Amino acid sequence: MKDAFGTPQSLLVLGGTSEIGLATARRLVARRTRTVWLAGRPSPDLEKAAAALRDMGADVRTVAFDALDPESHEESLGKIFTEGDIDMVLLAFGILGDQARDEDEPLSAVRVAQTNYTGAVSAGLVCARALQSQGHGSLVVLSSVAGERARRSNFIYGSSKAGLDAFSQGLGDALHGTGVHVMVVRPGFVRSKMTAGLEEAPMATTPDAVAEAIETGLRRRSETVWVPGALRVVMSALRHAPRPLFRRLPV
């Protein structure tokens, strides 16, 4: 169960090798979290991540999960919930893609969309239903500022996050009053292996900062969290910038 400050005792991370996911797990394990499920494609990295959390004292299990195979989600995720309540599900999987290549190869663009959006729709719904039947829990969805307004430089990734973001907001409204809390997290540029080699955007942040913002959001039962917080204002302005102007901005 969550405590009065929203800190979960059990956590399921979808995208078990995600740096933000693991930074959040570390932070929560240092508080109350004792049971962690890391869901992802079986790999040495996934096992390494599990071992690192075990060293912190958590009971960690890994489970095979593939965002690109929505038909398996019902079974692979469903069985986790039969083993006990999950207080928080962190939907942290996603790929950035390579904008230039994806524009040339529509199929690789589709793969970005299927991972980030379609995979999340199915996994999100499966988890939401399980959380609802246990009468409590948080579903935390990692969206992105990139979904707030499509930019020339990464609109394929951005559009997939825009879809995910809208889906999560709607799911949050659907679950309002059921005891299940949906929180959409919109980080800006996060310095991580996903963005390694890319030119850093203004107001860049770190996985640890995102984890901290998630913990605060849980305490406040927030519905939307921006990281860093000032991005809320910046993006509000950018969202309304006229397109001829927006095109010329160095964003």
> In angstroms, what is the minimal distance from the CB of 5 to another protein?
4
Amino acid at 143: S
Window 60-99: residues binding another protein (CB under 8 A) = 85
> In angstroms, what is the minimal distance from the CB of 68 to another protein?
23
Contact between 2 and another protein per CB under 8 A? yes
Q: Which is nearer to another protein, 159 or 168 (CB)?
A: 168
Contact between 6 and another protein per CB under 8 A? yes
Find residue 186's DSSP bridge partners: 226
> In angstroms, what is the minimal distance from the CB of 175 to another protein?
6
Contact between 208 and another protein per CB under 8 A? no
Name the catalytic one among 37, 93, 157, 189: 157
What DSSP assignment string belongs to 153-202? GGHHHHHHHHHHHHHHHHHHHHTTTTTEEEEEEEE-SB-SGGGTTSPPPT
What distance, in Å, lies between the first and last C-alpha atoms of the chain?
42
Residue choice 41, 54, 61, 219 for contact with another protein (CB under 8 A): 219
Contact between 140 and another protein per CB under 8 A? no
Residue choice 108, 122, 134, 206 for contact with another protein (CB under 8 A): 134
Contact between 31 and another protein per CB under 8 A? yes
Pairing label, strands 224-227, 59-64: unpaired
Contact in structure between 93 and 115 (CB atoms under 8 Å): yes
Contact between 166 and another protein per CB under 8 A? no
Q: Which is nearer to another protein, 54 or 149 (CB)?
A: 54
For residue 157, indicate whether it is catalytic: yes
Contact between 129 and another protein per CB under 8 A? yes
Contact between 4 and another protein per CB under 8 A? yes
What DSSP assignment string belongs to 12-79? EEESTT-HHHHHHHHHHHTTT--EEEEEES--HHHHHHHHHHHHTT-EEEEEE--TT-GGGHHHHHHH
**Residue 240 token pair:** 């309304």
Q: Which is nearer to another protein, 9 or 99 (CB)?
A: 9
> In angstroms, what is the minimal distance from the CB of 198 to another protein?
33
| Displacement of CA 162 from its chain's centroid (Å) | 13
> In angstroms, what is the minimal distance from the CB of 3 to another protein?
4
Q: Starting from the edge strand earliest in sequence, which strands make up the sheet with 180-187, in order?
A: 59-64, 35-40, 10-14, 88-91, 137-142, 180-187, 224-227
Active-site residues, by number, are: 157
Give residues in contact with another protein (CB under 8 A). 1-7, 9, 31-32, 34, 85, 125, 128-129, 132-136, 173-180, 216, 219-221
